[in-house]
């Protein structure tokens, strides 16, 4: 009976009425307020007039918490008090003023028991039972009974208080969640949405949070096509909340949500955390937080698309044809929608029977790197047309990079000048911070040609030396960027040695096949995902027909 | 100590120098951390040493930060030196010509003459 209601005021009224008339003619329950004052919260009496009058009187004269009134004493000490007899001298000594004394004497206060209301080692107040007029006095056995009643009442009151505190916290929490800009839903073990805020309703296309909590499990998801970052369709079980409820670990998930009805697209990060049963540890709920990053993602995609387009524009649409010499190039970007890695290559004529081949790598990524790549390529083209030597062209590019406002862009380049000389082709190689090209003879012997020189754009002065070598019929020259040799770094880099081994097979395969084999090996080392772009540029001399 | 995925810096101060011992991979992702640590830890040092013996990997962005730090040290009148790194690091320093531009010492506590 005492545990039926969880509302404190109702509970105490019930307790007080329970004692009347069998145990008492008058019952008063006082509670200690947070500020230390004593407040009567329930009064019950056989004569309702008395109860009403007492309530009015107590309203005018509050009990002095530090005074001699038995209720104050019991609350202070925590010990019960038995007053078998209450002579008028006693009544006067405990009265809160003459009006109070008169009330007690007039109504024939006869005997009383005051028991502390204690729960969880805290005194919450006191329960007083009184006999009036000519009734019996209370004895020790009554004291025990009243104490037991007080103990149970205190527990009920305490539960009611805890419940009301809990409600308050819940309401406060709900007010916070409702007003959060992030969309939040809570799903239970059956996958039902038990809570949603307005942001969640907006995001998931519902008019109110109620529409979400009333929806069948899984039915909300049907309104959307849900894709992962790679464009693979995801089902409900892949959502972090559902995975948590299935007992799996679930990290944040980036999803692309397309509203089936309208085609509207959103990028969301979905994070879920479990709410566990404090006793069993079982997961009761999953709290989902949806962060809408559509704007950020759009900007990112736009930037990467611009970069990608720029990169394409920076590579020659097709390589020029050189009589007697086969030229092949291969370029592989790191990632699908890659940020620009800054690798570039080009082949261009320099006069009648001279050609300039270049391959390079600009430091950094994104539109800025693309800008530097454009500068590098066009500066080198202009320098080539003005008839500069490879080393001279590299110095020109260095100066151009140095005169950039930022002055910190760096780039590595390998330049090879091709000149016809009787049956063979003379190569003049100049390196600026770039790996040396590989010369592969007809037997498959591989050697690096050129001398390492300073990278461009940051160190003054640059030191670049040219080296000359002849390319005979059937021999192959390979220019590459370090995305090739360092594919798989640092754990299992492809490395120069492996690259040399791959090149040793060059005589037995077409140039295109050779480049494909190298790309394949680089991808395999990188676990399929390239860390850096790779660029390859190769040429092979046909011999007698060379450059004629 | 400053760290992030795949990269970590241990900082050691001695009376005449601050030694930043780099572990892991110095690339586009980790370069800003090094830049920041050189600025904060090395500002008042007489000498800055980047100890590369535990550095597994460096790319061109990493090189740029090292070069910029060297330049900054020269402006401030500080000494700046590196120790040798892994083969990959040594190779990149050789290919790019950066190795001969910077002061390379055998041990981080080597006294410069």
Q: Per residue, what are the HEC states of chain B?
A: CEEECCEEEEEEEECCEEEEEEEEEECCCCHHHHHHHHHHHHCCCCEEEEECCCEEEECHHHHHHHHHHHHHHHHHCCEEEEECCCHHHHHHHHHHCHHHHCCEECCCCCCCC
Please give the structure tokens belonging to residue A186: 């809570």
Same domain, A146 and A190: no
**Amino acid A339: pLDDT:** 56
Which residues of A lie inside 8 Å of B (Cβ-Cβ)? 361, 363-365, 408, 410, 412, 431, 433-436, 452-455, 458-459, 462-463, 482, 486, 489-490, 493, 532
Q: Is A324 left (phi over 0), alpha (psi -120 to 50) or beta?
A: left
| A450: closest CA of chain B, how far (Å) | 11
What is the pLDDT of chain A when averaged over all its residues? 86
Residue A301 lies in a domain: no
Rounded to the nearest 5°, which phi and psi values hold at B31? -55, -40
Report which secondary-structure segment, H or E, holds A123. strand A122-132
Same domain, A409 and A476: yes
Residue A370 lies in a domain: yes
Q: How many domains does chain A have?
A: 3
Same domain, A267 and A324: no
Nearest chain B residue (CA) to A436: B95
Residue A2 lies in a domain: no
Same domain, A156 and A269: no
User: Could you tell me which of A252, A250, A288, A291 has the C-alpha nearest to residue A268?
Assistant: A291
Residues of B in contact with A489 (CB under 8 A): 56-57, 88
**Amino acid B81: pLDDT:** 93
| B65: closest CA of chain A, how far (Å) | 10
Residue A547 lies in a domain: no
**Amino acid A7: pLDDT:** 63
Confidence class for position A500, pLDDT limits 50, 70, 90: very high
**Amino acid A190: pLDDT:** 85
pLDDT at A4 over 70: no
Report which secondary-structure segment, H or E, holds A415. strand A411-421
Residues of B in contact with A364 (CB under 8 A): 28, 60-61, 64
- Residues A490, B97: C-beta atoms closer than 8 Å: no
Chain A contact present for B86, CB below 8 A: yes
Confidence class for position B20, pLDDT limits 50, 70, 90: very high
Of A408, A431, A436, the CB nearest to B68: A408
Cβ proximity of A429 and A357 under 8 Å: no
Among A260, A292, A324, give the residue marking a domain's end. A292
Evaluate whether ipTM surpasses 0.90. Answer: no
Residue A303 lies in a domain: no
| A273: closest CA of chain B, how far (Å) | 24
Nearest chain B residue (CA) to A365: B28
Q: Tell me the CA distances in angstroms from B63 to A255, A458, B110, one per residue in order.
A: 36, 10, 22
Of B88, B97, B101, the CB nearest to A452: B97
Chain A contact present for B92, CB below 8 A: yes
Share of chain A above pLDDT 90, in %: 30
Confidence class for position A545, pLDDT limits 50, 70, 90: very low
Same domain, A132 and A256: no
Q: A190 preceded by cis ω (within 30°)?
A: no
pLDDT at A114 over 70: yes
| Domain of residue A341, CATH code | 3.60.40.10
Domain boundaries defined on chain B:
2-105
Same domain, A255 and A320: no
Cβ proximity of A340 and A367 under 8 Å: yes
Give the pLDDT mean for A287-311.
77
Same domain, A472 and A353: yes
Same domain, A322 and A273: no
Residues of B in contact with A436 (CB under 8 A): 95
Of A452, A459, A490, the CB nearest to B57: A490
- Determine the Cα–Cα distance for residues B47 and B49; give it in Å rounded to an integer: 7
pLDDT at A3 over 70: no
Chain A contact present for B75, CB below 8 A: no
Interface test with A, best of B96, B99, B100, B102 (most A CBs within 10 A): B96
What is the distance in angstroms between the CA of the first residue and the CA of the last residue of chain B? 30
For residue A81, give its domain range: 8-169
Nearest chain A residue (CA) to B24: A490
Give the pLDDT mean for A296-325.
76
Chain A contact present for B94, CB below 8 A: yes
Of B61, B88, B98, the CB nearest to A455: B98
Chain A contact present for B77, CB below 8 A: no
- Tens digit of each residue's pLDDT (9 = 90 or more) over A158-200: 887 788 788 888 888 777 777 777 888 998 888 888 888 888 8
Of A365, A453, A489, the CB nearest to B97: A453
- Tens digit of each residue's pLDDT (9 = 90 or more) over A8-64: 677 788 888 888 888 899 999 998 888 888 888 889 998 889 999 998 888 888 888
| Domain of residue A57, CATH code | 3.30.450.40
**Amino acid A444: pLDDT:** 94
What is the pLDDT of chain B when averaged over all its residues? 88
**Amino acid A548: pLDDT:** 40
**Amino acid A278: pLDDT:** 79
Same domain, A157 and A219: no
Cβ pairs bridging A and B (under 8 Å): 65
Task: Decide which of 3.30.750.24, 3.40.50.620, 3.40.50.150, 3.30.300.20 is the CATH code for B2-105.
Answer: 3.30.750.24
Residue A400 lies in a domain: yes
Among A292, A323, A345, give the residue marking a domain's end. A292
- Tens digit of each residue's pLDDT (9 = 90 or more) over A379-428: 998 898 888 899 999 999 999 988 887 767 889 999 999 998 877 899 99
Residues of A in contact with B88 (CB under 8 A): 486, 489-490, 493
Confidence class for position A317, pLDDT limits 50, 70, 90: confident
Give the pLDDT mean for A111-139.
89
Interface test with B, best of A363, A398, A463, A492 (most B CBs within 10 A): A363
């Amino acid at each position: 009976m005492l545990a039926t209601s969880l509302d404190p005021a109702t509970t105490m009224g019930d307790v007080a009425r329970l004692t009347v008339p069998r145990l008492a003619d008058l019952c008063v329950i006082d509670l200690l307020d947070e500020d230390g004052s004593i407040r009567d919260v329930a009064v019950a009496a056989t004569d309702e007039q008395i109860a009403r009058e007492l309530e009015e009187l107590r309203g005018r004269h509050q009990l002095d918490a530090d005074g001699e009134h038995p209720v104050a004493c019991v609350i202070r000490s925590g010990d019960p008090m038995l007053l078998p007899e209450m002579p008028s001298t006693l009544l006067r000594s405990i009265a809160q003023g003459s009006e109070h004394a008169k009330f007690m004497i007039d109504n024939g206060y006869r005997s009383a028991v005051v028991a502390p209301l204690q729960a969880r080692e805290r005194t919450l107040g006191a329960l007083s039972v009184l006999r009036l007029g000519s009734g019996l006095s209370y004895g020790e056995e009554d004291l025990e009974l009243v104490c037991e009643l007080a103990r149970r009442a205190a527990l009920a009151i305490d539960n009611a208080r805890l419940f009301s505190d809990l409600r308050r916290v819940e309401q406060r929490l709900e007010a916070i969640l409702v007003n959060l800009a992030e969309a939040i839903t809570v799903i239970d073990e059956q996958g039902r949405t038990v809570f949603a805020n307005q942001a969640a309703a907006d995001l998931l296309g519902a008019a109110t949070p109620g529409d979400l909590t009333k929806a069948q499990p899984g039915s909300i998801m049907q309104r959307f096509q849900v894709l992962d970052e790679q464009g693979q369709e995801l089902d409900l079980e892949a959502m972090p909340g559902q995975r948590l409820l299935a007992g799996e670990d679930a990290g944040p998930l980036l999803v692309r949500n397309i509203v089936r009805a309208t085609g509207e697209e959103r990028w969301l990060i979905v994070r879920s955390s479990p709410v566990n049963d404090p006793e069993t540890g079982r997961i009761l709920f999953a709290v989902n937080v949806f962060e809408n990053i559509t704007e950020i993602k759009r900007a990112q995609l736009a930037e990467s698309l611009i970069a990608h387009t720029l990169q394409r524009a920076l590579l020659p649409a097709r390589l020029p044809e050189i009589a007697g010499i086969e030229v092949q190039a291969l370029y592989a970007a790191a990632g699908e929608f890659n940020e620009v890695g800054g690798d570039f290559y080009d082949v261009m004529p320099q006069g009648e029977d001279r050609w300039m081949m270049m391959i390079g790598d600009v430091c950094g990524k994104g539109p800025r790197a693309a800008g530097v790549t454009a500068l590098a390529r066009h500066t080198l083209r202009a320098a080539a047309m003005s008839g500069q030597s490879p080393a001279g062209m590299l110095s020109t590019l260095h100066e151009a990079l140095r005169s950039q406002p930022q002055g910190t862009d760096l780039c590595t380049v390998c330049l090879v000048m091709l000149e016809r000389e009787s049956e063979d082709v003379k190569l003049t190689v100049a390196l600026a911070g770039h790996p040396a090209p590989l010369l592969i003879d007809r037997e498959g012997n591989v050697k690096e040609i050129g001398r390492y020189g300073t990278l461009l754009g940051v160190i003054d002065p640059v030191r670049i030396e040219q080296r000359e070598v002849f390319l005979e019929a059937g021999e192959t020259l390979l220019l590459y960027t370090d995305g090739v040799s360092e594919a798989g770094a640092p754990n299992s880099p492809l490395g120069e040695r492996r690259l040399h081994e791959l090149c040793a097979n060059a005589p037995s395969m077409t140039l295109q096949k050779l480049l494909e084999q190298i790309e394949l090996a680089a991808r395999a080392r990188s676990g399929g995902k390239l860390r850096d772009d790779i660029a390859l540029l190769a040429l092979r001399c046909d011999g007698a027909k060379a450059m004629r | 100590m400053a760290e992030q995925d795949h990269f970590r810096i241990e900082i050691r101060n001695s009376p005449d120098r601050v030694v930043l011992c780099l572990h892991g991979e110095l690339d586009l992702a980790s370069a800003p951390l090094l830049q920041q640590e050189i600025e904060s830890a090395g500002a008042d040092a007489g000498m800055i040493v980047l100890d590369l013996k535990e550095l597994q990997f460096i790319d061109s962005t990493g090189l740029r930060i090292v070069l910029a730090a060297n330049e900054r040290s020269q402006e401030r009148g500080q000494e700046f030196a590196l120790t040798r790194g892994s083969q990959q690091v040594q190779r990149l320093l050789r290919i790019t010509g950066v190795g001969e531009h910077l002061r390379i010492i055998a041990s981080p506590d080597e006294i410069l003459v």
